[in-house]
Structure 1
């Protein structure tokens, strides 16, 4: 005897089985490093330079991020100000501003350096891009007054704009031959790794604060 076929009413009475849509991963947050030869990775393969190492360090902290390199060898704060609008793309969540070393090497007026960095930060904030400002420590040998005025630029700007400050980009690396290339200025692969590892927690905190 054939089994009775279910009626349309019986079919509609069956419990519905929810089909879950596949989870869509959120796109990684974008960090752009606006800098000079130190962050451009002078003398290093791209994978060993500071931006790539910063991306690895942030991912070790559990963050889904893409770090873009926007460093230009020889760039001053004036150069950074001139190109910030196109070097830092509109999808950037956070910009790490790492400029000032070439101003220092050229002995530029700290007031001019401060004004350029101030302009960069204002442009980024106007675009609703978060900022982490990194400093460069001037050695006392270049002149006590100049070093004092130059070193005051970075904490002063951080206070004025309410942005996080990483006081010295080369902290733990400067003047250590084992961590620098033969020129004594640019970090080698190990030096870049140390810079990135020390900078990463500051960047991670800034991303968390931005939401």
Structure 2
């Protein structure tokens, strides 16, 4: 996290007063000591806000959640509809501009829709984490669960990607993007989705944000501590 120091040019007897003023400013106005954390949200249509008015998408609703929590952060929407883990890996390096302090990675849904080999998805996500690590950017890796129609072996291999890579690279980990929607009967969950049954509606996004919010807050606090 980049810090902005308010320096005092002091000489002789003025130096002690300068120190007192500096200490007072740090106590009463800590926001003067640091910029808000800038977080890149690297993802696909779930991040981009497909099918929703801009204000109802994931990133705008997450901004509002953070504001309500009193957390100062700038979120950059780097969601691209249709993007796979390969697309994310291809653009992550130039997406991590110098002001970015942390990154949320929500990729893999389109890999599942296309039945991409989990080993390929793993390599792509690992590439993203490796680049983030080289740039000293904290990461929150958000997991997804594979459906059972590809078979037990595929599901086991895919589902293991997120926790294993998070541990290997010291990334923050949210086990399930859709955790905020709750479990139970899949048919009952459809009330939180748009007509396509894939993309959440505005209320669904709000629930997803409630589930992901604490993970994001922990990510931001870690970036602030650097």
TM range (shorter): 0.7 to 0.9
2:71 to 60, 63, 67: 63
Aligned partner of 1:202 in structure 2 is 215
Give the Cα–Cα distance (whole angstroms) in 2 for the partners of residues 67 and 47 of structure 1. Answer: 13
SS in 2 for 1:96: strand
Aligned partner of 2:52 in structure 1 is 44
Q: Structure 1 residue 152: deviation in Å?
A: 0.6
Give the Cα–Cα distance (whole angstroms) in 2 for the partners of residues 81 and 141 of structure 1. Answer: 27
SS in 2 for 1:73: coil
Aligned partner of 1:188 in structure 2 is 201
SS in 1 for 2:75: strand
Give the Cα–Cα distance (whole angstroms) in 2 for the partners of residues 142 and 121 of structure 1. Answer: 26
Give the Cα–Cα distance (whole angstroms) in 1 for the partners of residues 97 and 203 of structure 2. Answer: 29
Q: Structure 1 residue 121: deviation in Å?
A: 0.6
Q: Structure 1 residue 168: deviation in Å?
A: 1.0
Q: How does the TM-score come out when normalised to structure 2?
A: 0.80
Q: How does the TM-score come out when normalised to structure 1?
A: 0.86
Aligned partner of 2:92 in structure 1 is 84
Which structure is larger by alpha-carbon Rg, 1 or 2? Answer: 1
* Structure 1 contact 76–100 (Cα < 8 Å) conserved: yes
Aligned partner of 1:131 in structure 2 is 139
Let me know the Cα RMSD of the aligned residues.
Answer: 2.0
Residue by residue, what CA displacement relative to the aligned partner does 1:22-81 show, whole Å, maximum 9, x if unpaired?
A: 967443211111000000000012211111111111222221111110000000000000
Q: Structure 1 residue 108: deviation in Å?
A: 0.6
**Unaligned runs of at least 5 residues, structure 2:** 1-16
Residue by residue, what CA displacement relative to the aligned partner does 1:182-211 show, whole Å, maximum 9, x if unpaired?
A: 000001101111111211111111222231
> As a proportion of its length, which structure holds more helix?
2
SS in 2 for 1:97: strand
Give the Cα–Cα distance (whole angstroms) in 1 for the partners of residues 87 and 111 of structure 2. Answer: 10
Q: Decide which moves more: 155-164 or 34-43.
A: 155-164
SS in 2 for 1:89: coil
Aligned partner of 2:12 in structure 1 is none
**Unaligned runs of at least 5 residues, structure 1:** 1-16
Aligned partner of 2:13 in structure 1 is none
Give the Cα–Cα distance (whole angstroms) in 1 for the partners of residues 215 and 146 of structure 2. Answer: 21
Q: How many aligned positions are there? A: 194
